[in-house]
């Protein structure tokens, strides 16, 4: 589907089952981008900051898929950290969560999220949504 | 006539100052005996009344500084010493002997000590009574007759009769003091041809304050001749105390010129008064008049004093007896009210809900309870507004917990207009803020008071005009007393005070219980909400796993299974999907309870359009027509949540309908309500399948469905629960009318 970039997609997801569903969707959608998974927001932030300081443009993530319900630092806090960090702010972040709460949606966009999608519904509909989202980021728009 | 006061200054008495006249130190004795003030240990004569010259044959000046033995013979001195040693003489005159003094007499001699001085009084005996009556026998007989009386009235009448029988005075009256210190003749016994004073009323100034106080100390007062020649005490100041001689306990004590004038004006030639002291208070007098000068022999006087003391004790007994049945009634009502309060939630219900109610507590014609925001009236009372205004006045102007008056209009100008129901008010305050009260009312009772002479003019100027004299006329003078109720008794006032304490304690205890229960309830509500939220939120993740993995299993290994196996897996997916919908509904419902309402003014026509658009797919699919006969009002509400209310009701109306031509009517009903005054009643009506009456309540239960999963397009059964919750959070109410087969109408209000 996309081979024009070899910069990774960072996935912050603590649930193995949800990560497997996402991976399955990637496989089905023939996504050939390296996936860097974190089960913990702090580990992810540390990684992102390390890469940024090393000036390693090649390994800078093309996209971050962020769960909200995480152990320890939760997704919204991580989002705030990323979007208030001058080096990381440019990386698109799409929130992928089970929360349909309007307040959550609003907060995330206010914090600077670039997209918000929910995990609910059947796997087919989820896979379709993931495909549409990746098409947007990798085929439609120009990434930084 | 003048006297020397405590500070040694001359005191010129008239009726403007007679309540300050120092009547315990008149500086003279009456004419029927002589007085000696003696050193208590050495019997040196310190002061003497000037009439010793006539009575004992030696001028006072000669006696001063001498020993008493100059007058008394050794036997008499012995008797005095004996009395001094064997009896407590302090404030207690004791009979010492009868005999001649200085070769004259005989005299009845008594002695007492007061303020460190031994006072010896010698009263001239007219003649030695050859057969002195046995006073003890007389008193014992009287006692038997007094004991047989039933009421206080009968008792007083009997006391007057018995007292006259023993004392032989022309008129014996039982005079009772009222609360304002005026008094009434409540019983009387007369010699033939003597004018009756029964029922007459005398102003408080007739027996001034210090005279009433002296009666409590020394219960007996005898004036054998109001026209007596005063005999001054010499020297004026006692050499031991350097003060005028205090004669509070002396029976020869000189009388105020105002009082002797008063008696003379009345035509009375001798008087005797005995105080009736009940519980340390001057309850009344046994007042005797005689129309000739009359000395009262010592033995008779003691008999009268003894009888008077018995009368006082029995008056107390009668008063207690008369009050005791009323006291019992009050106490029983008190207990019943407290018991009822403990069973009822509100103060009003507690005080009016039982067999014995607040109006039975004291004798009253009406009663009001101002509590729990209510003004509850019983019997004859002022209007609710008048009661509220009165309570506000009590709260502001009369800070006390208890207020009592028998003449409200004298203190409270508005009282004039409600005196026919509330001249008398007894009120207890339950709370200061917001000002809760219980009030008992008594109407005005117009009374005629028969005064003995004009009480507003108790004085007349003397011909020379230099001072005022007691009135001369004791002609019946009638006064009509208005603006007054029957007075409140001390028992009633004290009982009301006690009831107030009991009620306020219960109110405080209850308030504490309620606030504790509220805190518990609030906490459990919050816990329940967050439980539902967290549970449904956290349930979703494993559920999604089950859903996804069943799908993956079907996709990856479907080939390895037979059709039954595959069908089972598809069922698993379907069940997981269903559970996810239920969890979503629960999550949504619990979120409603947690979210703050975003209250704004919304045009309900816009809100309704939004809801119609949101359900347009279903409306089109079912071919349902939406009718809006009248424009809807603009109300304050949470717009988003109200869209949901309409959406749920419209969706249900479209869903549960099997008619070929389906319609929904949305409108507002405002019959009986002025525009903008009452909450609008909104309704959503359909021509659907209807709801049987027995399900009217259960349909609001979460996840309750009346039909099979697949009938009428399915659903979770949370829609109406959520709708009701939104309406209730707006302070409104949701209800329905329905005719199975005909259609259903849901009504709702949005509170004030």
- For residues A25 and A117, give the distance between their C-alpha atoms in angstroms, rounded to a whole number: 15
- For residues B679 and B48, give the distance between their C-alpha atoms in angstroms, rounded to a whole number: 97
**pTM beyond cutoff 0.90:** no
- For residues B5 and B25, give the distance between their C-alpha atoms in angstroms, rounded to a whole number: 7
pLDDT tens string A109-139:
999 999 999 987 788 899 999 999 999 998 8
Q: Do A21 and B577 touch (CB under 8 A)?
A: no
Task: Domains for chain B: give ranges and CATH numbers.
Answer: 1-132+230-252 (3.30.450.20), 134-226+268-323 (3.30.450.40), 597-752 (3.30.565.10)
pLDDT at B1: 46
pLDDT tens string B475-496:
777 778 888 898 898 889 999 9
Q: Do B548 and A69 touch (CB under 8 A)?
A: no
Judge residue B490's burial from the number of C-beta atoms within 10 Å of its C-beta, 0-12 exposed, 13-18 middle, 19 or more buried: exposed
- Nearest-CB residue to B580 (from A15, A18, A120): A120
pLDDT at A3: 45
For residue B436, give the 3-state DSSP assignment.
strand
pLDDT at A144: 82
Over its C-alpha atoms, chain B yields an Rg (Å, rounded) of 47
From chain A, the residues in CB contact with B595 under 8 A are 103
pLDDT at B677: 46
Closest chain A residue to B556, measured at CA = A24
> How many Cβ atoms from other residues are within 10 Å of residue B569's Cβ?
18
Q: Which helix (H) or strand (E) holds B613?
A: helix B604-614
Instruction: Decide if pLDDT at B444 tops 70.
Output: yes
Closest chain A residue to B547, measured at CA = A122
CA distances in angstroms from B658 to B56, B112, B457, B624, listed in the order given: 133, 116, 100, 11
Instruction: Decide if pLDDT at B606 tops 80.
Output: yes
Instruction: Looking at the complex, report in whole angstroms how far the Cα of residue B591 sits from the nearest Cα belonging to chain A.
Output: 9
Lowest mean pLDDT among B239-243, B622-626, B700-704: B700-704
pLDDT tens string B260-271:
888 888 889 999
Instruction: Decide if pLDDT at B14 tops 80.
Output: no
pLDDT at B674: 45
Report the pLDDT averaged over residues B498-515. 87
pLDDT at B752: 52
> What is the ipTM score, two decimals?
0.77
The answer to whether B351 touches B357, Cβ cutoff 8 Å, is yes
Q: Where are the domains of chain A?
A: 9-134
pLDDT tens string B56-84:
999 999 999 999 999 999 999 999 999 88
- For residues B476 and B201, give the distance between their C-alpha atoms in angstroms, rounded to a whole number: 9
Instruction: Looking at the complex, report in whole angstroms how far the Cα of residue A11 sits from the nearest Cα belonging to chain B.
Output: 17
- For residues B409 and B444, give the distance between their C-alpha atoms in angstroms, rounded to a whole number: 10
* Homologous superfamily in CATH for domain A9-134: Response regulator (3.40.50.2300)
> How many Cβ atoms from other residues are within 10 Å of residue A28's Cβ?
14
Q: How confident is the model at residue B584 (pLDDT cuts 50, 70, 90)?
A: confident
pLDDT tens string A30-57:
888 889 999 989 999 999 988 877 777 6
- For residues B574 and B300, give the distance between their C-alpha atoms in angstroms, rounded to a whole number: 118
Instruction: Looking at the complex, report in whole angstroms how far the Cα of residue B709 sits from the nearest Cα belonging to chain A.
Output: 19
Higher pLDDT, B142 or B245: B245
Q: Do B544 and A100 touch (CB under 8 A)?
A: no
Beta strands in B211-355, from DSSP E residues, in sequence order: 220-223, 231-234, 270-278, 281-290
Which of B547, B579, B581 has the most A C-beta neighbours within 10 Å, making it the best mutation to test the interface with A? Answer: B547
Report the pLDDT averaged over residues B21-27. 88
Helix count (H) and strand count (E) of chain B? 18, 31
Q: For residue B557, what are its two tokens?
A: 């290994």
Residues in A whose CB is inside 8 Å of some CB of B read 15, 17-18, 20-21, 24, 69, 98-101, 103, 119-124
Q: For residue B132, what are its two tokens?
A: 């002195």
pLDDT tens string B413-440:
888 889 889 999 999 998 877 788 999 9
Q: How confident is the model at residue B189 (pLDDT cuts 50, 70, 90)?
A: very high
- Nearest-CB residue to A98 (from B541, B551, B591): B541
Q: Do A15 and B540 touch (CB under 8 A)?
A: no
pLDDT at B732: 86
Judge residue A78's burial from the number of C-beta atoms within 10 Å of its C-beta, 0-12 exposed, 13-18 middle, 19 or more buried: buried
pLDDT tens string B90-120:
888 888 988 889 888 789 999 999 988 999 9
From chain B, the residues in CB contact with A17 under 8 A are 541, 544-545, 548-549
- For residues B584 and B570, give the distance between their C-alpha atoms in angstroms, rounded to a whole number: 21
């Amino acid at each position: 589907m996309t081979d024009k970039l070899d910069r990774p997609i960072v996935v912050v997801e603590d649930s193995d089952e949800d990560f497997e569903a996402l991976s399955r969707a990637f496989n089905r959608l023939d996504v050939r981008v390296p996936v860097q998974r974190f089960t913990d927001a702090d580990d992810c932030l540390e990684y992102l900051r390390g890469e940024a300081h090393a000036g390693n443009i090649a390994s800078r993530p093309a996209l971050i898929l962020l769960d909200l319900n995480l152990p320890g630092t939760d997704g919204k806090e991580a989002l705030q950290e990323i979007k208030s960090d001058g080096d990381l702010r440019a990386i698109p972040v799409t929130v992928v969560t089970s929360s349909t709460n309007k307040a959550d949606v609003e907060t995330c966009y206010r914090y600077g999220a670039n997209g918000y999608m929910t995990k609910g519904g059947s796997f087919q509909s989820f896979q379709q949504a993931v495909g549409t989202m990746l098409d947007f980021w990798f085929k439609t728009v120009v990434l930084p | 006539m003048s006297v020397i006061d405590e500070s040694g200054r001359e005191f010129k008495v008239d009726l403007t100052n007679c309540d300050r006249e120092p009547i315990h130190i008149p500086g003279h004795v009456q004419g029927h005996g002589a007085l000696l003030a003696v050193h208590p240990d050495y019997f040196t004569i310190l002061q003497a009344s000037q009439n010793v010259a006539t009575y004992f044959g030696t001028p006072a000046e000669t006696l001063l500084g001498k020993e008493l033995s100059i007058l008394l013979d050794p036997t008499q001195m012995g008797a005095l010493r004996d009395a001094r040693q064997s009896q407590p003489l302090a404030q207690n005159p004791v009979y010492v002997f009868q005999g001649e003094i200085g070769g004259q007499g005989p005299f009845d001699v008594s002695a007492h000590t007061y303020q460190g001085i031994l006072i010896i009084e010698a009263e001239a005996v007219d003649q030695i009574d050859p057969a002195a009556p046995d006073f003890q026998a007389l008193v014992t007989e009287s006692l038997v007759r007094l004991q047989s009386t039933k009421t206080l009235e009968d008792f007083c009448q009997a006391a007057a009769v018995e007292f006259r029988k023993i004392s032989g005075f022309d008129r014996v009256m039982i005079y009772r003091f009222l609360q304002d210190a005026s008094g009434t003749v409540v019983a009387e016994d007369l010699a033939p041809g003597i004018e009756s004073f029964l029922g007459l009323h005398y102003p408080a100034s007739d027996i001034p304050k210090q005279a009433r106080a002296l009666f409590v100390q020394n219960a007996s007062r005898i004036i054998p001749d109001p026209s007596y020649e005063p005999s001054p005490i010499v020297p004026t100041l006692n050499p031991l105390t350097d003060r005028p001689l205090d004669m509070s306990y002396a029976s020869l004590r000189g009388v105020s010129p105002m009082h002797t004038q008063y008696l003379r004006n009345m035509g009375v030639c001798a008087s005797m008064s005995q105080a009736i002291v009940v519980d340390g208070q001057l309850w009344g007098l046994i007042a005797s008049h005689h129309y000739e000068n009359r000395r009262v022999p010592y033995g008779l006087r003691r008999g009268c004093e003894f009888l008077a003391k018995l009368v006082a004790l029995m008056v107390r007994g009668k008063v207690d007896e008369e009050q005791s049945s009323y006291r019992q009634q009050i106490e029983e009502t008190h207990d019943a009210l407290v018991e009822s309060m403990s069973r009822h939630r509100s103060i009003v219900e507690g005080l009016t809900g039982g067999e014995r109610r607040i109006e039975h507590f004291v004798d009253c014609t009406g009663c009001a309870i101002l509590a729990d925001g209510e003004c509850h009236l019983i019997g004859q009372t002022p209007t609710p507004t008048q009661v509220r205004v009165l309570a506000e006045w009590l709260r502001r102007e009369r800070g006390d917990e208890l207020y009592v008056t028998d003449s409200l209009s004298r203190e409270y100008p508005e009282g004039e207009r409600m005196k026919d129901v509330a001249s008398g008010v007894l009120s207890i305050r339950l709370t200061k803020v917001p000002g809760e009260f219980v009030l008992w009312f008594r109407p005005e009772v117009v009374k005629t008071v028969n005064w003995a002479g004009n009480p507003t003019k108790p004085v007349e100027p003397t011909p020379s005009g230099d001072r005022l004299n007691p009135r001369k006329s004791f002609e019946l003078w009638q006064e009509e007393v208005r603006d007054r109720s029957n007075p409140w008794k001390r028992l009633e006032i004290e009982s009301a005070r006690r009831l107030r304490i009991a009620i306020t304690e219960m109110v405080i205890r209850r308030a504490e219980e309620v606030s504790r229960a509220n805190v518990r309830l609030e906490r459990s509500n919050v816990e329940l909400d967050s439980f539902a939220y967290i549970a449904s939120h956290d349930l979703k993740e494993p559920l999604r796993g089950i859903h996804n993995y069943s799908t993956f299993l079907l996709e990856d290994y479907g080939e390895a299974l037979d059709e039954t196996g595959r069908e089972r897996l598809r069922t698993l997916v379907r069940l997981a999907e269903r559970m996810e919908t239920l969890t979503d509904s629960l999550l949504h419902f619990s979120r409603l309870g947690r979210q703050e309402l975003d209250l704004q003014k919304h045009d309900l026509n816009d809100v309704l359009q939004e809801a119609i658009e949101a359900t347009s797919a279903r409306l089109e699919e079912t071919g349902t027509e939406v009718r809006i006969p009248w424009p809807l009002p603009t109300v304050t509400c949470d717009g988003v949540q109200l869209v949901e209310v309409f959406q749920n009701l419209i969706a249900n109306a479209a869903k549960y309908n099997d008619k070929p031509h389906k319609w929904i009517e949305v409108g507002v009903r405002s019959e009986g309500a002025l525009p903008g005054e009452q909450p609008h009643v909104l309704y959503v009506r359909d021509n659907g399948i209807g709801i049987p009456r027995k399900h009217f309540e259960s349909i609001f239960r979460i996840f309750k469905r009346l039909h099979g999963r697949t009938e009428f397009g399915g659903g979770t059964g949370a829609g109406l629960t959520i709708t009701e919750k939104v309406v209730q959070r707006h302070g409104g109410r949701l209800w329905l009318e329905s005719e199975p087969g005909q259609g259903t109408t849901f009504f709702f209000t949005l509170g004030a």
